[in-house]
């Protein structure tokens, strides 16, 4: 089994629950001077706020172990998450007076929770950087694949400690590749592993593997050594599939891609898409009307922007959005959106920042051309080029495209072939691990992305 960040997350979550509970217990005592069991007197309010704090921490990316917990960023994000939870709690207590704390208790609770959780993350980061037990590992191959893996495993919360590379290139012997040294050739694999007491190796040669190396790896595995493949380790630690370092056999035999082949799950997902899109279209009618009026008054041209996109199974459909650019924005042909794109109108800038320009796509979801969650649909002109330049790009068309997705909540706005490659890594992870639970996680993270304005152009 491949270690991941899950154990660290559970420890972090457990600490959060304990500290939120402690803050909830202390707040009324500080406010009134009397000690009593707050969970008995205010059961509904206590349980609700505990749950809400945890949800907001997740939305604002405070369980992302890869981010790390830098002092300023941690204090700010925790403050925003806790403050948002406090505002929602105040609204709920106003609606359900039987649940509410007094205002003084709620304010004290919010301040205590912010202080406790910020301090806990600082302490947690320090303790784990010292005490985290890492498994020693050898990387077989010091090429692009191996060095990419080595850089990943050098991260603070990585569950591995890389002893070194093994590679057959004479020019690399004794050299530092990235931040790790090549300590020998692959034909000394078993000897070096035994000498250094290493029981785990990661095969980072994904193409043209020497037959002699494969024989050694097989013998080592039969003697109890753990042998892992680079794409599998990379996926487990980053929640991405390393597109440049996979091959047909890995895709064919790797676990996953279950829901793509299960019609009943696709029907459940379609039913959710239909119901939710219809409801949101109805609820957002006032926003739609105001946006349409603002677009009409701002610049000449149509309110809606319609554009061909590639959908499931490579079929072309017409995507709807609010127009956020000048009407002549593509008079010289299709082009990627840029940062501070001069083609964006004054109203369009705000529509994009608040993601309001995406609302009409719910019509595409309602019709079944898109899903709420999935890879973003791309334009046919770009798809033709991307399929030539990026391996396995066509796999993203095996599911319905989405308004938001795993790539959108984890990566910045894509505006180049390099960005398209990185986003495909997230898209393949989503397709490989599709589930309603993962969809729910994406929805929560989307809220945080929208509130922080990440990715909008």
Instruction: Give the pLDDT confidence score for residue 457 in this predicted structure.
Output: 46
pLDDT in tens, 77-107: 889 889 989 888 888 777 776 666 777 888 9
Instruction: Give the pLDDT confidence score for residue 335 in this predicted structure.
Output: 64
The predicted model scores a pTM of 0.79
Instruction: Give the pLDDT confidence score for residue 339 in this predicted structure.
Output: 64
Interval 274-298 mean pLDDT: 93
Q: Domain 135-238 maps to which CATH number in 3.10.180.10, 3.40.190.10, 3.40.50.970, 3.40.50.720? A: 3.40.50.720
Q: Tell me if 435 sits within 8 A of 259, measured CB to CB.
A: yes
pLDDT at 112 over 90: yes
Paired tokens of 392: 């396995």
**In the chain, what percentage of residues exceed pLDDT 90?**
37
Return d(Cα 273, Cα 365) in angstroms, integer: 6
Query: Residue 1: pLDDT band by 50, 70, 90 thresholds?
Result: low
pLDDT in tens, 180-216: 899 988 888 888 988 999 999 999 987 777 777 888 8
Q: Which of 60-69, 75-84, 261-270 has the lowest mean pLDDT?
A: 60-69
Interval 315-330 mean pLDDT: 85
pLDDT in tens, 136-192: 999 998 988 999 899 888 877 678 889 999 998 888 988 888 788 999 888 888 889
Paired tokens of 405: 């997705």
pLDDT at 388 over 70: yes
Ranges of each domain in the chain: 6-131, 135-238, 259-452
**In the chain, what percentage of residues exceed pLDDT 70?**
89
Q: Please give the residue that has the higher pLDDT: either 155 or 5.
A: 155
Instruction: Give the pLDDT confidence score for residue 265 in this predicted structure.
Output: 78
Instruction: Give the pLDDT confidence score for residue 393 in this predicted structure.
Output: 94
pLDDT in tens, 389-437: 999 999 999 999 999 999 998 887 766 888 899 999 999 999 999 888 8
pLDDT at 37 over 60: yes
Sort 259 into a burial class: Cβ within 10 Å, 0-12 / 13-18 / 19+.
buried
Return d(Cα 311, Cα 380) in angstroms, integer: 10
> Which residue, among 159, 156, 201, has the nearest Cα to 183 in the 3D structure?
201
Give the chain's mean pLDDT: 85
Q: Which residue has the tokens 């790797």?
A: 254
SS3 139: strand
pLDDT at 131 over 60: no
Q: Please give the residue that has the higher pLDDT: either 450 or 194.
A: 194
Return d(Cα 218, Cα 117) in angstroms, integer: 47
């Amino acid at each position: 089994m491949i270690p991941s960040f899950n154990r660290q997350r559970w420890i972090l979550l457990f600490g959060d629950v304990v500290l939120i509970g402690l803050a909830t217990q202390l707040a009324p005592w500080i406010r009134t001077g009397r000690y009593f069991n707050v969970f008995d007197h205010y059961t509904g309010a206590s349980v609700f706020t505990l749950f809400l704090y945890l949800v907001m921490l997740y939305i604002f990316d405070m369980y992302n172990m890869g981010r790390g917990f830098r002092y300023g960023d941690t204090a700010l994000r925790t403050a925003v998450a806790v403050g948002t939870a406090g505002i929602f709690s105040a609204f709920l207590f106003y609606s359900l007076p039987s649940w509410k704390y007094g205002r003084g208790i709620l304010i004290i609770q919010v301040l205590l929770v912010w202080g406790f959780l910020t301090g806990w993350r600082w302490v947690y980061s320090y303790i784990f950087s010292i005490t985290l037990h890492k498994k020693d590992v050898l990387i077989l191959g010091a090429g692009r694949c191996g060095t990419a893996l080595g850089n990943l495993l050098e991260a603070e919360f990585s569950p591995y400690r890389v002893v070194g590379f093994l590679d057959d290139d004479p020019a690399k012997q004794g050299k530092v590749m990235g931040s790790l040294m090549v300590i020998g050739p692959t034909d000394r694999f078993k000897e070096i592993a035994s000498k250094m007491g290493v029981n785990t190796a990661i095969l980072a040669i994904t193409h043209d593997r020497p037959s002699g190396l494969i024989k050694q790896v097989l013998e080592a595995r039969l003697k109890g050594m753990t042998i892992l493949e680079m794409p599998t380790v990379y996926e487990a630690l980053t929640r991405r599939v390393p597109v440049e370092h996979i091959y047909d056999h890995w895709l064919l035999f790797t676990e996953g891609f279950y829901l793509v082949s299960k019609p009943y799950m696709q029907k459940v997902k379609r039913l959710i898409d239909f119901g939710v899109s219809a409801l949101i279209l109805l609820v957002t009618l006032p926003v739609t009307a105001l946006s349409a009026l603002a677009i009409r008054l701002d610049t000449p041209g149509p309110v809606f922007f319609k554009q061909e996109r590639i959908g499931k199974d490579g079929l072309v459909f017409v995507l709807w959005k609010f127009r956020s650019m000048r009407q002549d924005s593509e008079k010289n042909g299709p082009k990627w959106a840029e940062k501070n794109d001069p083609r964006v109108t004054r109203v369009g800038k705000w529509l994009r920042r608040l993601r309001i320009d995406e609302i009409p796509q719910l019509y595409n979801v309602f019709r079944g051309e898109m899903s709420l969650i999935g890879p973003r649909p791309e334009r046919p002109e770009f798809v033709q080029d991307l399929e030539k330049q990026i391996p396995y790009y066509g796999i993203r068309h095996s599911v319905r495209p989405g308004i938001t997705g795993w790539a959108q909540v984890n990566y910045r706005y894509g505006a180049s072939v390099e960005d398209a490659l990185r986003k495909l890594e997230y898209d393949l992870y989503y397709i490989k691990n599709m589930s309603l639970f993962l969809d729910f996680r994406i929805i929560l993270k989307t809220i945080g992305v929208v509130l922080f304005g990440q990715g909008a152009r």
